[in-house]
Amino acid sequence: MNSIWVIAKNTFKEAIRDRILYGILGFAVFYLLTDLFFARLALGDVSMVKSFGLAGIYVCGVVVTVFLGASVLYKEIESRTLYFVISKPVTRAEIVLGKFFGLFAAIALTISAMAAIYLGVVGYEAREFDMLGLLAILFELFEMGFFVALLLFFSSFASPLTATIYSSILLFSGHLLELVLENAAQIGGITLRLVSGAYYILPNLEKFNIRGLAAHHTMISWPVGISVFVYAVAYSTLLLYFAIICFKRREL
Amino acid sequence: MIEISRLTKIYAGRRVVDGLSFSVQKGRVFGFLGQNGAGKTTVIKVVVGISLSDEGCVRIEGLPAGDVAIKEKIGFMPEAPYFYARLTGLEFLRFCGDLFRNRRSKDTASHEELLKEVGIYEARDKRISTYSKGMKQRLGFAQALVNDPDYVFLDEPLDGLDPIGRREIKEIIKRLKTRGKTIFFNSHILYDTEELCDDVGIIHEGKLLYSGPVKEFCAGRPLEAAFINTIEAVSRT
């Protein structure tokens, strides 16, 4: 447990000292501040301000996660920095988990910074504290946790580019599955069976998307919220388990 | 005691280490010598638990290599080490020390002492990305000693160091020996090796040619001459 904490702390420290992270964060701040300009165009329609802001936080969160997560294990194997760690009393499972928690903490910090600006912008425009917006950002954070686990899994055996492509495809398809299933239901037959199979095997990431609901003041129930949290934890745990298996077999 | 028994490692169908068996007694300085690509680094990686053997086994104090309990007692410096460039030297040493259970490894004062010993104390708060090759080599050496290990494994420890740096590292190795540490190092710099070692192992194309006291191997000749004669004799057959 101590080793996981030490590796997580080190990964976090390394991540937040990366200049490129600040470049992305700077862009995100600029983007969120332009929300003030869009608020004028929307003639006081706060839901548009919220949609724009929440979508921006999501996209920047994905970019930061890809940037930090895609190469994390691969880079350390290639550069042999892992030799220092593996020769210490540390298991490979602890390395994977430490990397996960460290990266997730860095991403959570970045998203928190964007959330603070978002809440400031919405507070200024709508004179309210956007509790639902905050909940939507929390759900985005759950999705980023899943995405970090996915990137770590691919990074345990593939190059950063391959890991990014595979993860992005899964992220994209994970958001389209519900829509594809609805369309397949109209076609029926083998198409429906194939899509249904994919629907149950692949992650359904639309579960994490409550941005539209939050923008239009629609509350979600506690059971739904808890089930989404459990879904994120279960899927991430499964991915980390497979990442550990792959990493254990990897020749260094 | 380090015991290596019928150790074999296969990469892409090629036996890069082929049935190696030898042992290193406690408190001895053992130089593992061979040409580039002979299999030295592969052996050291298996011994410190980075790689797994395909056949045979390695035991340190009776425990299998890679066992977490034995990793508490070893220190390892990889060849041409790469670091977390955005950390400072002291932060890196603290990170390495925190991975051990014993309290001394986590003590900042002993980290600073170690940095003084390897001669990079003044640069302790500078980022590693600003370090020269020699400074990185010294930091790599310091992290191998952070847990006050009983067994120190060094992969080409003198590579990249200037003559003064080499002398300093050799002095540290000698001091470690007087403190009863067992030191196992790979090298192709034979002049320095002769001065430091009690025993040597000679590896050529994955096979062990000799293991035993350095004086017996040299038989009055300089180590370099004895090494070249041995390799050439094997290459001719």
ipTM computed for the complex: 0.88
Closest C-alpha to A182, from A170, A207, A169, A199: A199
Q: Which residues of A touch B84 (CB under 8 A)?
A: 10, 14, 81
Angle, CA B189 vertex, CA B188 and CA B195 arms, to 5°: 125
Q: Would the pLDDT of A39 be above 80?
A: no
Chain A nearest-CA residue for B78: A83
B213 phi/psi in degrees, rounded to 5: -60, 140
The alpha-carbon gap from B106 to the nearest alpha carbon of chain A, in Å, equals 11
Residue-range definition of the domain harbouring residue A216 = 2-249
Cα dihedral angle (A211, A162, A99, A24), rounded to 10 degrees?
-50
Cβ-based interface (< 8 Å): residues of B facing A: 11, 45, 48-51, 68-69, 71-72, 74, 76, 78, 81-84, 86-87, 91, 95-96, 98-101, 143, 153
Q: Output the pLDDT for position B188.
A: 80
The rounded distance, in Å, linking the Cα atoms of A29 and B82 is: 34
pLDDT, tens digit (0-9, with 9 covering 90-100), for A84-113: 999 999 999 999 999 999 999 999 999 999
Range with lowest mean pLDDT among A5-14, B38-47, B54-63, B75-84? B75-84
Q: Please tell me the pTM assigned to this model.
A: 0.89
Cβ–Cβ contacts within 10 Å for residue A106, how many? Answer: 25
Identity of residue B35: Q
The rounded distance, in Å, linking the Cα atoms of A216 and A50 is: 9
Chain-centre distance for alpha carbon A5: 21
Q: Is the dihedral of CA B131, A159, A80, A102 positive or negative?
A: positive
Q: Which residues of B touch A80 (CB under 8 A)?
A: 78, 81-82
Identity of residue B171: E
3-class secondary structure per residue, A139-207: HHHHHHHHHHHHHHHHHCCCCHHHHHHHHHHHHHHHHHHHHHHHHHHHHCHHHHHHHHHHHHHCCCHHH
Distances (CA, A) of A126 to A48, A71, A115, B96, B180: 11, 41, 16, 50, 72
Q: Which residues of A touch B153 (CB under 8 A)?
A: 87
Q: Which residues of B touch A251 (CB under 8 A)?
A: 11, 51
Count of structural domains within chain A? 1
pLDDT, tens digit (0-9, with 9 covering 90-100), for B113-143: 999 988 899 999 999 999 988 889 899 999 9
Average pLDDT over residues B96-104: 86
